[in-house]
Amino acid sequence: MEKNLIIVESPAKTRTIKKFLGKNWEVEATKGHIWNLPEKSLGIEIKKGFRPEYEVIKGKEKVISKLKDEAKKVSKVYLAPDPDREGEAIAWHIAQEIDEVNSSIYRACFNEITKEAVLKGINDAGPLDMNKVNAQQARRILDRLVGYKVSPFLWETIYWGLSAGRVQSVALRILSEREKQIEDFIPEEYWSITALLGTFGKQSFYAKLFKIDGKDFKIGKKTQAQTIVDDIKSKTFVVVEFKKEKKHRNPYPPFITSTLQQDAARRLFFPSRKTMGIAQQLYEGVELGSKGSVGLITYMRTDSVRVSEQAKKGLRDFISKNFGEKYLSEKPREYRSKKGAQEAHEAIRPTYLEYTPDSIKDFLSDEQFRLYQLIWSRFVASQMSQASYDTKTVEIEAEKYLFRASSSKLIFDGFLKVYQEIKEENSEDKEEEKLPDLKEGEILKLLELKPQQHFTKPPPRFTEASLIKELETNGIGRPSTYAQIVTTIKQRKYVTSEKRKLVPTELGITVNKILVENFPQIFNVKFTANMESELDKIEEGKDEWVKVLKDFYLPFETTLKKVEKEKIKIKNRLEEKTDEICEKCGKPMIIKWSKNGRFLACSNYPECKNTKPLVSKEEEKIANNQKCELCGSPMVIKTGKFGRFLACSKYPECKNTKPLVSKEEEKIVNNQKCELCGSPIVIKTGKFGRFLACSKYPECKYSRPLSLGIKCPEKGCDGFLVERKTRRGKVFFGCSNYPRCDFATWDKPIAQICPECGAEFMVLKTSKSKGEFLKCLKCGCEKVEKIDVKNE
């Protein structure tokens, strides 16, 4: 028999696919892309119809050579990279390389790696889809044009090495604009009034004031609330309406890429990149003992909720057999994909339902198990019956005041048996009220009337999950790009993660400001969404890729020329004037940017090249009046590999240095002795932040984390908050019990009790509009008055 060759992307896939094909098949892997645009040049011939100048990726020469050798030996070659634009582009690149040795080339696609799917994909194999290839190529060229043309503008206005991205910069804009809303937000006071009411059968429940004179209302001050409370006290409370209903909750559709990333973030606390990496492993195949490598889920980059009829029937049989008929929906559930979804793909689902998560747990890593369990449960739940609730609603009148209360009780769990609901992000914890049975016209006793003060809250910061949802809602990005968008802006240090919230850095906000002010038509949500639609049209064969690029590039080039003339003015606008005077030449100092952040520089540059760190008021207090123990010269603050430190101003004549220690840190270390040798303890700075070490080092190597003297706020944790550093050198504050406790915050904890919720500490924050202020991590309360930053 003739031999055939099938080429995939991943070596993990080759192991799984080899099981399904006989000895007359060879299976090889490209290990990802084999071609790319050059690293050190634009690589696009704009005047020749945007022709890309691809080159072989370094290290892939041997891969290509092997593919060619294998292609010579076989009758037919089947290209089977992933079934999306990127996969189609990889297949096309392979075809270009091996066509000279074997022109019998076919494109095979499968959405799952099962024997049936692989054999069907080979049987249905056909020509490459050049519309998909052109859509991918257009996206790649668009991203290259924006990155290579705009990034140098950032180098010349802020500092070298920064980069802009067509889609990532719009995600940064969304985050920056939300941060501005939060910064500008002014909390407004409002009051609610709740009545504790009792029946004559001695049952009681709470009801909330809902309307006054049949209208919505707002109580803005305590005096208003008290006036209303005093008026209500004398009224008679009468039940005017009591309803008992049965309500139902339907299950969710199976996962698509965006909902999987969102749910994995909310339930498992996985970053989007981690979710996609683990999903890729489950898709390509996991070794299940004697069964060999098994692909456990369908393709994980999809925006379609479609499920094949065969899979749907198999699922309904599984539910009926394992849970009983009452847990099976009356008829098969059909879910609608969003407009423009690629219905050729299926939703993300298990390939074999019989491989329940618990049955294969021993073969999976903990993270693989948790994600597989999530996918499996969501899919099984999608064809299960509704969850049913008994609900009660009551409305009570006290003359012109209308109170309302409601309760619900789960009476049949339905799909919740396998897929429990969780509290939505940023939602408030509410205790479920238990209402007694009441009758219309029934008189109730007023047991208590509680006015409660509240403050409006700013819009919440985005998490990775909610940012992906926002991008999807606005039509920005596609299933294959969501994780990369988030990962890129984090890697560029434009945003950081703070308690799983995405917070733009000072650098990110500055980059966003420059891009939005100078390229408003390119880095905006509507334009980016429209461009995604244009790429979809190319894939559908409704538009021509060169025309789309030309329509984009002509106005883009005009904007670039205009901005080029303004870049010196833009750079000057970024420089901030200060009241500080240069000690070397007497000229004013200004604030500039470098790769290490903002710093002070002499405005008389290049005649005077004096620079120094931008020091906070707290650091200034520490450095003031400190003298070098070796030569008596003043000590100054400098920035090094591990952060700020004190150094002798006579450097390089005197090379004395010591850690920058605050007064509260001095109090922590005072009179502390080494637990091993009894010598005094000193504060040192290392790769991962401040720590306490024995003064007899290196004879004694005792050390431990530097505690702030503040208890960790996580429930059940007995640790203390300590200063640490990330691998990239940024200071944060975490629990001394890490990794058992993963509490962390970028903001410095201060031992001041929150006046709103009584939390044991607040964190020190700074903004341009408010200056320094304290904020409670628990309730969001802000304290703007004079701050005592001593942890006493």
Distance CA 304, CA 259 (A): 11
- Tokens standing for residue 351: 């390939």
Rounded Cα gap, residues 743 and 712, in angstroms: 8
Whether 375 contacts 349, CB under 8 Å:
yes
What number of other Cβ atoms are within 10 A of residue 258's Cβ? Answer: 22
Sheet with 611-613: list strands edge to edge: 576-581, 588-594, 597-602, 611-613
Strands (E), 635-712: 635-640, 643-648, 657-659, 681-686, 689-694, 703-705, 707-711
- Kindly give, in sequence order, each residue whose CB lies less than 8 Å from that of residue 402, ignoring residues fewer than 6 positions away: 209, 210, 211, 212, 214, 240, 395, 396
Helix and strand numbers, DSSP H then E, in the chain:
18, 36
Query: Which pairing describes strands 689-694 and 703-705: parallel, antiparallel, or unpaired?
Result: antiparallel
| Strand, helix or coil for residue 85 | helix
Amino acid at 129: D
Nearest Cα to Cα of residue 167 among 136, 146, 137 = 146
How many other C-beta atoms lie within 10 A of the C-beta of residue 342?
19
Please answer whether residues 668 and 706 qualify as being in contact, where contact means their C-beta atoms are separated by less than 8 angstroms: yes
Helical axes 272-284 vs 11-18, angle rounded to 10° = 30
CB 350 within 8 A of CB 295: no
What is the Cα–Cα distance from 195 to 146, expressed in whole angstroms? 60
Q: State the Cα–Cα distance between residues 463 and 262, nearest whole angstrom.
A: 9
| Of 245, 252, 247, the residue nearest 420 (C-alpha) | 252
Q: Is 299 a catalytic residue?
A: yes
Residue 94: in which H helix or E strand, if any? Answer: helix 85-98
Is the CA virtual torsion 373, 375, 379, 384 positive or negative? Answer: positive
Positive or negative torsion for Cα 451, 453, 459, 463: negative
Alpha carbon distance 89, 108 (integer Å):
13
> Using a CB cutoff of 8 Å and minimum separation of 24, what contacts does 561-568 make?
563/153, 563/518, 563/519, 564/153, 566/518, 567/153, 567/156, 567/157
Strand-strand pairing, 293-294 and 286-287: antiparallel
Quote the Cα angle for 437-438-443, to 5°: 150
- Helix 464-473 to helix 482-491 angle (10° resolution) is 130
d(CA 467, CA 475): 12
| CB contact at 8 A, 633 and 649 | yes
Return the structure tokens found at 625.
């009046």
| N-terminal to C-terminal alpha carbon distance within the chain | 83
Query: Could you say which of 78, 106, 299, 553 is catalytic?
Result: 299
Question: In 3-state terms, what secondary structure has residue 607?
Answer: coil
DSSP alpha helix (H) spans, 502-544: 506-518, 525-539
Q: Are strands 771-775 and 762-767 parallel, antiparallel or unpaired?
A: antiparallel
Q: Which residues are known catalytic residues?
A: 299
